[in-house]
Amino acid sequence: MHLALARLSSRALLGVCLFTGVASAGIYNDTVGDQAGSGDSEVDIRSVEVTNDATNINFKITLVGDIAAANFGNYHIGFDTTAGGKTTPGVAWGNPFGIGSGMDYWIGSWANFGGGSELHQYTGDGTSNTWGPTIPGTTVSLAQFSTTISIPLAAMNLVNGSVVKFDVWSTYGSPGGQSAYDASSNPAQTVPDPWNGTQYNSGSLVSTYTVSVPEPASIGACTAVAVLALTARRRPRG
């Protein structure tokens, strides 16, 4: 009786530990069908799911259309993580969009050629389009209707409790010059025509995520619980 109860309790605790293995999570939904211009549905953002563990922050960008249908989609994330940053639209690829409260980091990703990404830190005076070199360590994982971008927390100086304001933008085709076809934090259309270089400023239409990193002691306790749950056996009857 006691052994069965212990085994049940340990497995219940294991379930809690597995659930909390990802320390924090948030889902941010966007309006379907609000992409600007004549962009295909792979630039229409359906939702963005943000998670983090002790090492990485992950952005799963789910799209309305098949990401490989035209294979020309590019997906960008702008971050406002601290005071300062770029207050005018413009990212390292030359696209005229940004976060007016001050964009500290930007990552641009692509779906063609197997997928890839570039993370840059803003190094200018607030208005110039000056970005540092590519920061290594990011990865991109593609699925039929989504792309997941993983960024090391250390790459953006994020720690437990860091508050990240962000927006996700989509573009189509060659990277330079286009404005945002869609912005995940804006339920309406971004600009009338993304191809004519119209600037888009996310302004106050941004999403907020708080990093929550599990304590090392909690990780150790969960490991112990896992061992207990997986090794518990019914006592043989004599």
pLDDT at 172: 87
CA dist., res. 153 & res. 155, Å (int): 5
Over residues 122-149, mean pLDDT: 98
pLDDT at 22: 56
CA distances from 101 to 5, 37, 89, 158, 162 (A): 54, 26, 11, 18, 17
Residue 89 confidence (pLDDT) above 70 = yes
Over residues 91-113, mean pLDDT: 96
- pTM for the model: 0.83
CA dist., res. 24 & res. 57, Å (int): 9
Q: Where are the domains of the chain?
A: 1-21+225-238, 23-213
CA dist., res. 214 & res. 190, Å (int): 37
Strand runs (DSSP E) across the chain, as ranges?
24-29, 45-52, 56-63, 73-80, 97-98, 105-110, 116-121, 139-143, 146-152, 163-172, 182-183, 200-201, 207-210
Q: pLDDT tens-digit profile of 208-220?
A: 999 999 876 444 4
Q: pLDDT tens-digit profile of 38-88?
A: 668 999 999 999 999 999 999 999 999 999 888 889 999 999 999 999 999
Question: pLDDT grade, residue 24 (50/70/90)?
Answer: confident
pLDDT at 175: 58
Site of tokens 């340990």: 10
> Does residue 42 contact residue 70 with C-beta atoms inside 8 Å?
yes
How is domain 23-213 classified at the CATH fold level?
Answer: Immunoglobulin-like (2.60.40)
Identify the sign of the CA torsion 123, 128, 133, 139: positive
Residue 190 confidence (pLDDT) above 50 = yes
Reference 178, options 100, 89, 107, 114; nearest CA is: 89
